[in-house]
A and B are shown apart, each in its own frame.
Chain A
Amino acid sequence: MVMNFLKRFYVYILFVFLYAPIVVLMVLSFNNSRLRGSWDGFTLRWYIELFQDRQILTSLYYTIAVAVLSSAIATIIGTAAAIGIHNLHGFKKNLIMNVTYIPVLNPDIVTGVALMILFIFLRLRLGFLTMLLAHITFNIPYVILSVLPKLKQLNNNLYEAALDLGATPWYALQKVIIPQIMPGILTGFLFAFTLSIDDFVISFFTTGSGVSNLSITVFSMARRGVNPKINALSTLMFLTVLILLIIVNLRMSKDKNGKGGGNGKNKEISLGARDSSGGGGGLLRI
């Protein structure tokens, strides 16, 4: 009994640690005073200012645009690549898988500077395009790693049967393989999307010419000191995430297909866990 109480208490303390800073930011976002020490009445002023801030709005646009485009393109390239890799064997397969693990294992900052060197070397103007290319590059591996397990579960006979019945390979791919690996493709897409939305380091090195995403804008604002507009932004982002998660969770528990359980991020992290631990094995296989 006492033990149980202690256990609960411990977990609640950790929750306080995790949530306190966020709650404080949320409360301060309604504080009329610019200084953080004193409560000076309730206000929505910072929210209004937030929506008038051109820099924040354009960076929000760039964040979403890059996330949508890069995850869509990465999903297409990555799914195609996964199907190809699935049919490879031996040395070639190992080689390609090891290359695939590079962006996963490489520290973000190294990926960032390496891509920056490449873009400057190619004389590309750093900006939207280069940031998009960088995001696609770090997204593809996650799509491949989400789709491959689904391909392994696939019954190869079905595809063969389709061919025997006169389907062209393209038709068979479309009608037989793609529908079956769809959950993997979707996971990959979502995974890529969240990584892209959240990225700071790689974007930081690969963008320029006034194009910045939300993370970079927050970084430059945070370097100028405490700013209540950031508090308002945090509150909105936290609520968005909360609502999204609740929706996803409700849907998941509705169609309870048992596997995975929990929410998207849960999957993401466990996937991440597999990446880093299994990845070493992959690299050492060479």
Chain B
Amino acid sequence: MKKATLSPYILWSSLFIIVPLLLVVYYSVTIETPEGIELSLENFKKFFEPIYLKVLWRSIILALISTVICLILGYPAALILAGKSFKRSNTLIMLFMLPMWMNFLLRTYAWLTLLEKNGLVNMIFQAIGLQPLNILYTETAVILGMVYNFLPFMVLPIYSVVSKIDRSIIEAAEDLGANSLIVFLRIILPLSIPGVVSGITMVFMPAVTTFVISRLLGGGQFMLIGNLIEQQFLFVGDWGFGSAISVVMILVILVSIGFMSRFENEEQGGRLW
């Protein structure tokens, strides 16, 4: 009886999870020739041409930069929110999350209006006598969009780990004469690592795969790997090449997750699930 409840899901996941992935793999390793469909690594070979490797490289670099900025901005924020500075830090965390509830497209669109040459940011800059900042349709705008959209993904996991640290450990350390730097380095930092790891993964993954932010804020100039996939499927119609890039993207994600979770296991050992 209890096992029977599983069968709809098995059916569903085979059809809608396994089969589509197999189809992607199938398209990535075949090419159409006049004589019919042939097994070939042509599509992958094409991806390793310099021009496409550059796209992959650019995606990874932009995602990494955004992740680092999110970490630099988010880590102190998470510590402060988890600390004693605010009385109602639950409400504050809620306020932190609130923008996340807004539609992702709308949040990105907001920056589109702000960053225009005659947009509000430039008007304020000019009003206070600063040089106008023309960053719409540059890599800076893309990074800004990523940081804005994904910052809460960094803050929240760190916050939830740090806020669970037993205060008595910190007090004990202080009683034993540790100053706040030592407390931070020896207690808070190591204990916050699992949160940092989650945060990095949660920012890096959507950042490296996005095609919307680069499309709207990059003006079609900064092709990322996501845009390349979109273009192959929707504009060029080359499913084989598109599938091959998808396979590469899955590998990038798996490698980064594997890397991060190993790191986490060494530090912490425990898994959350």
Contacts and interface: CB of A to CB of B under 8 A. Distances in A.
Asked whether the complex places CB atoms of A and B closer than 8 A, the reply is: yes
Interface of A: 4, 7-8, 10-11, 14-15, 17-22, 24-25, 28, 35-37, 77-78, 80-81, 83-88, 96, 99-100, 102-103, 105-111, 113-118, 121, 133-134, 136-137, 140, 144-145, 169-170, 173, 194, 198, 200-201, 205, 214-215, 218-219, 222-223, 226, 230-231, 233-234, 237-238, 241-242, 245, 249, 261-263, 265-266, 269-270, 272-274, 276-284
A33 B213 CA distance: 27
B43 interface: no
Interface centre among B98, B101, B202 (most CB of A within 10 A): B101
Contacts of A234: 102-103, 106, 109-110
Nearest to B153: A269
Contacts of B257: 105, 276, 279-280, 283
A233 B83 CA distance: 37
Nearest to A277: B198
B24 A269 contact: no
Contacts of B102: 22, 234, 237-238, 241
A18 B151 contact: yes
Contacts of B171: none
27 contacts: A8-B85, A18-B96, A18-B99, A18-B152, A20-B114, A21-B111, A22-B99, A36-B116, A37-B118, A87-B3, A109-B229, A109-B230, A109-B249, A115-B16, A117-B23, A117-B239, A222-B112, A223-B215, A237-B106, A269-B100, A272-B153, A272-B202, A274-B273, A277-B198, A280-B258, A283-B254, A283-B258
Contacts of A110: 24, 209, 229, 246, 249-250
Contacts of A270: 156-157, 160
Given A215-B105, A226-B113, A170 B9 contact: no
Interface in B61-106: 73, 76-77, 80-81, 83, 85-86, 90, 92-106
Contact of B258 (A245, A276, A284): A284
Nearest to A83: B5
Contacts of A7: 80, 83, 85
Given A81-B9, A110-B249, A121-B23, A11 B81 contact: yes
Interface of B: 1-10, 12-13, 15-21, 23-24, 27, 73, 76-77, 80-81, 83, 85-86, 90, 92-114, 116, 118-120, 123, 148, 151-153, 156-157, 160, 194-195, 197-199, 201-202, 205-206, 208-209, 211-212, 215-216, 226, 229-230, 233, 239, 242-243, 246, 249-250, 253-254, 257-258, 260-261, 264-265, 271-273
Nearest to A137: B16
Given A80-B8, A173-B1, A262 B93 contact: yes
Q: B interface, by DSSP: helix, strand, loop or mixed?
A: helix
A140 B9 contact: yes
Contacts of A17: 148
B16 A118 contact: yes
B19 to A, nearest CB: 6
Given A114-B21, A279-B257, A22 B110 contact: yes
Interface centre among B95, B99, B107 (most CB of A within 10 A): B99
Contacts of B265: 281
B20 A273 contact: no
Contact of B109 (A18, A96, A222): A222
**Which 4 pairs of residues, A with B, have the shortest CB-CB distance?**
A84-B6, A280-B261, A81-B9, A114-B20
Given A169-B1, A226-B113, A278 B95 contact: no
A117 B27 contact: yes
Nearest to B202: A276
A111 B254 CA distance: 15
Given A10-B80, A84-B3, A234-B110, A219 B253 contact: no
B198 A117 contact: no
A116 B229 CA distance: 13
Contact of A84 (B5, B81, B99): B5
Given A245-B98, A276-B202, A277-B272, A11 B92 contact: yes
Contacts of A273: 156-157, 160, 195, 198-199, 202, 272
A36 B109 CA distance: 13
Contacts of A215: 103-105
A145 B261 CA distance: 19
Nearest to B106: A234
Given A25-B113, A273-B160, A114 B23 contact: yes
B106 A218 contact: yes
Given A25-B109, A222-B112, A234-B109, 11 more contacts: A11-B81, A77-B9, A84-B3, A88-B6, A116-B233, A226-B113, A262-B90, A266-B156, A272-B153, A273-B157, A278-B272
A107 B63 CA distance: 14
